[in-house]
A and B are shown apart, each in its own frame.
Chain A
Amino acid sequence: MTRWKPIWVFAVACLAGLAACGDRDSDVGGPISRRPEPVEMVLLEDGQPDRAVLADQQVVRRGNGEEPATLDPHLAIGVPAAHILRDLFEGLTSESADGDVIPGVALRWNISRDARTYTFYLRRDLTWSNGDPLKAEDFVYSLRRAADPATAANAARMLLPILNAREVLAGELPVEELGVSLLDEYSLQITLTGPTPYFLGLLTNPIAYPVNRRNIEEFGEQFSRPGNLVSNGAYVLSDWVPRVEVVLEKNPAFREADRTIVERVHYYPVEDHSTEVKAFRAGEIDWTNEVPNNQFRWLQKNYPDELVVSPWMGSYFLGFNLTREPFIDNPSLRMALVLAIDRQILADKVAQFGEQPSFSLVPPGMDGYVPFVPEYADWTQEERNHEARRLFEQAGYSEERPLRVEIRYNTSENHKKMALAVASMWKQVLGVNTTLVNEEFRVFLQNREQKVVTQVFRAGWVSDYNDPYSFLELFRTGHGRNDYGYSNSTFDALLDEIGTERVRARRERLMFEAERVLMIDNVIVPIYTYVTKRLVSRQLRGWQNNVMDHHQTRHMFKLRLRGDPAAEPAAPEQPDEPVSAEEPPQAAAEEPAPEGEPEGQEP
């Protein structure tokens, strides 16, 4: 019977295909054999694209990972919801395409000398999507709502730098006591507990977005539904079918509506990475949220222009449980294990997507901070292995008395591959016998937190805001995610100092020092720093890589395709001729826009 197999698989597939053969939407992109080419991009002096190169249909379809949990900006958790909310709302501050903090609703702001008081001056002519004027009191209302215990906002932890936020969240003080005060119709003041250089960046997060009071009072918990939701960003919510799509339409009331090119954006929840790639290949989406980890080579070969890999502000590392054997009070052993892995191989062969091997906690590129790099980073792996063996013996282990250790991770193919590779390096260099234990995510988290059964465990951190402090604070004594049981008074004192230091250079030095202390204590096994990886249609431009991986649709636009009949409305039908890659890149010049010269174009 076995010999039938391939034939029948094929036959069944063909039959199903034939049965399914029918007409389809003409805007569905072609199969890979005849991928359309976009025209050459032409930018005008103001940085906006020449209208002649733009596609008629400015509709962007973005794969967006999982279903967004909620579109209530204050309750939202998770990356998928944040992507959508950045299009729907705008905070006091905003972000440029490359991730810099820029003025948003606030046109300008003053920071007091002690760096604890921020005064924001709002643009005066802004309105909500329902026509209501957008004023300072909206922000006071919204920040209080976000901190209100009754709201029970998960992300309210990001508001903790604000004065009294902790007490308000704990219900010890009324929300009115939150350090946010209205100065006049268009200005407000936010008081902080200490200098927080990343505070302006924090304000770009959904938790700090304004919500429309009238909107919430009218619809209650259902205010974030399509048809109800009033927003102030570049887009408004047009439709939302759970697990099908979220559709946003351009908000004509947005302050930069005339510079917003994309008219409509569809966010598709596509959980399965390979399905997402297939949808991209079939031309159904312009932008994937992810690509499967095992397809790097294939994608690099077949979609070199579409595959976008860029550093991300996250680190992948393993953690030691410092409260139990064998790692309690055994820095030599921990150091040996840190040294005995070849990070280059792990990054290149296991992670594969251009992740950078890492010897420290904080990824590079975080707001100008240069991470601490230990001495052994410059050694050869041979030297590191040599030192590792020495330390291993010093810790009392040997071939005769080998170390037995567990690596625990949450169930995932990638974590497993990484754990296997690490285990084999430890085995090879030190003769360590490693057992792999995988657990369902929440079981794993609970075990990490309880610090009873864990020895070495998968850890990692992706920051919410562009500041190294977000990495360092995880290791403070008593922090909710300090699953390492790390407690070092020097380190904690440094963190306290960082919290009050308002001179940027000094603060950076303190953070560097804190990271050094942490790395010398060998609390973690750094492995690599994250990258974002996705496929983006060559038609879709205007966005830029940034470590935050924040990409607002309002910065994007879609290029016209070469030979797109929409460009020549006179010609009824274009023969379906593939454009050869060798064709000189003057296509834009050769095909002038039919509606005449757009203003400002320089020949």
Chain B
Amino acid sequence: MALLEVSGLEVRFDTPEGVVKAVNGMDFEVGEGETLAIVGESGAGKSQLVMAIMGLLAENGSASGVALFDGEDLMQMKPRELRGIRGRRIAMIFQDPMTSLNPYLTIEKQMIEVAMHHQGLARDEARAHAVEMLRAVRIPDPEERIRQYPHEYSGGMRQRVMIAIGLLCEPELLIADEPSTALDVTVQAQITELVGRLREQTRMSIILITHDLAAVAEVSDRIIVMYAGQMVETGTVDDIFYRPQHPYTRGLLASVPRLDRVSDDELQAIPGNPPNLLELPSGCPFRDRCSEATEGCRQPPPLWQGEGGRASRCVLPMDGGQIVAAEAVGEDGA
């Protein structure tokens, strides 16, 4: 059994302008010890997807669907039960380390409260544990630095602290939402390396959310590519990188600098913007930006599934795949 099984997850936001359809039916699993990368442009719904799972949506957001964690549906849990899981069994690291730590509290306070709350440790024990964790994420001189405030840390250091906080209770699942995006390039590499090392050293499952395909290549087992709140393609790292099926995935890959390319000339972003989530067009949401779009894309695209969880949502056929969402093309009559 997978550690986390998500099916039919939808997230809606009530706004004065209308209902924003942020996530539109997501199904996926995360196995024990597995690292799943969820990749997509900003606004694709990646963050809201995990926020919904964590029960941390904003007040105007609502989620439906099933998210079984160790067999229990997170979506049905009372806030109190959910709090027992958050921070203890599922930890989360956020995109912006500059603002994700409380600027008014010392690192010590922000760390030991987790250990004290979830593990019932005494203050001294919690502190020793926290120092140990800081050391583990390679904060130099942790005994001293733990007494400092976040503004006395650099961005990369803060993210290390965030990771250390996440690891305090040795969670079964770590959700890292763009952990390195806000950092400069060398620091990004360090954080990515740190996540990779953790993945090797612990049996922790990881969901890694990023807009940067390149960043996940070395550290993840499987990749889900999201677009407009939907999965458009999923597969192993090799599948995605070497056998991309969906035009969007290919577009993403084209925008990634790669060692196997000769020059940067070919590096290009996907033209156009993601669709307005207030008024999702019928049919394939990517069709306006897709160089291979046809008339058929006006209909909802079919979902192709293949071996080992490989899947793609496109009118274009998938190698070795079968249409599972037949009704999606049924209307098409093709």
| Direct contact between A and B judged by beta carbons closer than 8 A | no
Residues of A that sit less than 8 Å from B by CB: none
